[in-house]
Structure 1
């Protein structure tokens, strides 16, 4: 009996002195868990945030570098293209003056002069003849587009029906049937050009021009040959 009491006492002392064990209501010991402190958790979170920030800075640096390289490359390409275009324009200008003369424009195998002064159709035809050419004769859509792109207001062309009303002839005596192209202005509800309007000139409208005073130069109009307009010579 004495021995059993000593064992019980020794066991009770062990339970009393072990600060890490607590007993539940059943009497069995339960060991407490060691949790990390708030300071350690905060330190870990700050470290993770710093790492993310460092990665973001690296990515931004790479993107900025690539953008800078791309901008410099595009800038160099643009400068190169501008320089080539400038050289081509100078070459074209030299060729035009060599082949056509001062103030003339080269297109295909022909040279064109766009006047700055205004004359009636008869005087325009005479001036072009003095330069060694004639009022322009239009034989293709490409030629028409070239002329209208450089003529920003109405210009005389070398087409007329002075000899026979309604029989339009070029200054080289070719008919419209022979050249094969026409660009008369077409109205939707009224008579198309040429309409031989006689309100301003009793003799009618017997000479042709690119455009008129209100519409663009991509189409033809008949007009009084007495009107003064700019004109286009060809040689």
Structure 2
């Protein structure tokens, strides 16, 4: 929490902006990918752009994200390290939750789905999160600090 407070204080002191193509909300810049790929490839793309997959901290950010994209998209949440222990890409534990009904379910034990260790946000009327195989190809959401 203290890191977040420091970041916010620094941002308030400076007039920061987002790069072209990115959109500002609260104290972060967001970008939806134009292509689709795996969770790992999406994360790598975000890192190459100076950010990471989005970390959703509260209901306001979730509302923004759900309106920002009209496509299902990877978010920075996974349980790759320990099944059932969901963590954000910044290392923080899952405090704010927005799972769909009966999710996460790790494929509900059906082998055709494989391990479902990565999370994405759905769109349209159902903006809740779901878990899916990290190898599934879909869009992703990047987040970074304005410069």
**2:127 matched residue in structure 1:** 218
- Counterparts of 1:179-194 in structure 2, within 5 Å, are 180-186=95-101, 192-194=102-104
**1:205 matched residue in structure 2:** 116
**Cα shift readout 1:145-169 (whole Å, capped 9, x = no counterpart):** 0000121121000000001000001
Of Structure 1 and Structure 2, the greater helix share is in 1
Q: How many residues are paired up? A: 127
Of Structure 1 and Structure 2, the greater strand share is in 2
**1:15 matched residue in structure 2:** none
Question: TM-score when scaled to structure 2?
Answer: 0.81
Distance 2:80 2:118 in 1: 7
Larger Rg, first or second structure (1 or 2): 1
Q: Which runs of 5+ in 2 are unaligned?
A: 1-15
Distance 1:138 1:124 in 2: 16
**1:136 matched residue in structure 2:** 54
State the 1:199 CA deviation.
3.5
**1:99 matched residue in structure 2:** 17
**1:166 matched residue in structure 2:** 84
- 8 Å contact from structure 1 (residues 158, 170) kept in 2: yes
Q: Does 1:153 align with 2:71?
A: yes
Distance 1:234 1:148 in 2: 14
Report the secondary structure of 2:106's partner residue.
Answer: coil
Classify 1:118/1:140 alpha carbon distance in 2 versus 1 (closer, same or farther; 3 Å). Answer: same
Q: State which of 14, 39, 51 in structure 2 corresponds to 1:121.
A: 39
CA RMSD of aligned residues (A): 1.5
**Cα shift readout 1:104-141 (whole Å, capped 9, x = no counterpart):** 00111110001111010000011101111000000010
* Structure 1 residue ranges, 4+ long, deviating more than 6 angstroms after superposition: none
Distance 1:217 1:119 in 2: 22
